[in-house]
Amino acid sequence: MKKVVISTGGGDAPGLNAVIYAVVHACNKRGWEVYGSRNGYAGFLDIDEMVRLMPRDVTEIYAAGGTILGSTNKGNPFSKPVKNLAGEVQIIDISDTIMRNYKRMGFDCHIAIGGDGSLEIAHRFAQLGMNVIGVPKTIDNDLLMTDRTFGFDTAVSTATNALDKVHSTAKSHDRVMVVEVMGRDSGWIALYSGISGGADVILIPEIPFDLEKVCEKISDNELRDKDYSIVVVAEGARAEGGSIISKGEGELGRQEVLLGGIGEWVAQQIRNRMDKDTRSLVLGHLQRGGSPTTFDRLLALRFGAAAVRMIEAGTFDHMVALVSSRMTAVPIADAIRNRKRVDLASDKVLTARDIGICFGD
Ligand code: F6P
């Protein structure tokens, strides 16, 4: 008999509920109890935020977007901002309270579903003695040690569908359409959707771009009687010698700045240089919403079930990973060491170049 707690942290991603579904069922089959901590670690601080999860509570949630547990990317218990009586913000560490409550509540282990930020927090708890298993989530697909994170396939499919629609309007008006997609540190969504969605230009964080090259590609199109062009740009991309475009100060309690605006900036630069009708479009959180694709559902269900098998094997402070189509356990420390970036020598990048896509280099 084991008592397992599960939490979902960071930005949501399609497939979170499918992981929860698999964990609840796989634990129930073994006669174990499962609890869900709402909004990241809130359940460890307030018993009302800790919910018992039975198979009847997760009926058909594998197909639903979002997370039934809620999530936050402002919930780092090691550096939590609180206002003191004078109204000033102080950063406090509440990890010891969480460790104490984890033990008091009698949990045997914690399945933490998250991206790099949430898994880093989980790893720190593992170092304090919590039995942690990580499950790799992010639409950005930028976690090391796993071929895929769940959520990515759905985001790519949403972005590709959007590009398909953008084509017809760009063509009707002989316009350049610049489509901004998510991808803070890596250009996976831009690359996969751009290739599949017929982009002329793909701009990714891994390749600082030269606007002259982007404009050359648009002019080349016109020389070949294609009077419209599609540019896909990842939110974390930047021009050579330029910097990342953000929405100013980060939010309180959030480690990263909010990115956004590169699409409109690129559109303006093209307009200035080419006197060409240019519009920008930000896909934003559309990419995080909706039902997971079959690929993501299956991957998330496999991750959830494999995480429970890892509990059985006692493989803690590890993350379940997809490596060469198989479920594998990898140390969380290795997965969060850095971001997984697009390999510029990979066949996807070569394919893009071979079919005439410009990376602005
Ligand atoms: O990490 C996933 C991600 O979707 C990033 O691509 C994006 O920059 C960020 O989350 C947006 O987060 P928020 O939900 O705070 O707007």
pLDDT tens for 237-263 read 999 999 999 987 777 777 788 999 999
211 CB less than 6 Å from ligand 1? no
pLDDT at 94: 97
Which residues carry out catalysis?
A: 140
DSSP 217-238: HHHHHHHTT---EEEEEETT--
Is ligand 1 within 6 A of the CB of residue 137?
no
Provide the pairing of β-strand 89-92 with 176-181: unpaired
11 C-beta closer than 6 A to ligand 1: yes
**Residue 242 has which token pair?**
């330029």
Closest CA to 80 of 39, 37, 131, 136: 39
Does the beta carbon of 138 sit less than 6 angstroms from any atom of ligand 1? yes
Q: Per-residue pLDDT tens for 279-302?
A: 999 999 999 999 999 999 999 999
DSSP states along 158-192: HHHHHHHHHHHHHHHHT-EEEEEE--SS--HHHHH
The answer to whether residues 125 and 20 touch, using CB atoms and an 8 Å cutoff, is no
Contacts of 97 (CB under 8 A, 6+ apart): 44, 45, 77
Kindly give the distance from the C-alpha atom of residue 146 to the centroid of ligand 1, in angstroms, as a whole number.
20
Give the residues of the chain that fall short of pLDDT 50. none
Q: How far are the Cα atoms of 69, 141, 222, 333 from residue 102, in angstroms, in the given order?
A: 17, 30, 63, 22
pLDDT score for 204: 98
User: Which among 73, 186, 252 is the best mutation to test ligand 1's pocket, defined by most ligand atoms within 8 Å of the CB?
Assistant: 73
* Single-letter residue type at 102: Y
Residue 186 pLDDT: 98
pLDDT in tens, 184-218: 999 999 999 999 999 999 999 999 999 999 999 99
**Ligand 1 pocket, 72 CB below 6 A?**
no
CA of 154 to the centre of ligand 1 (A): 15
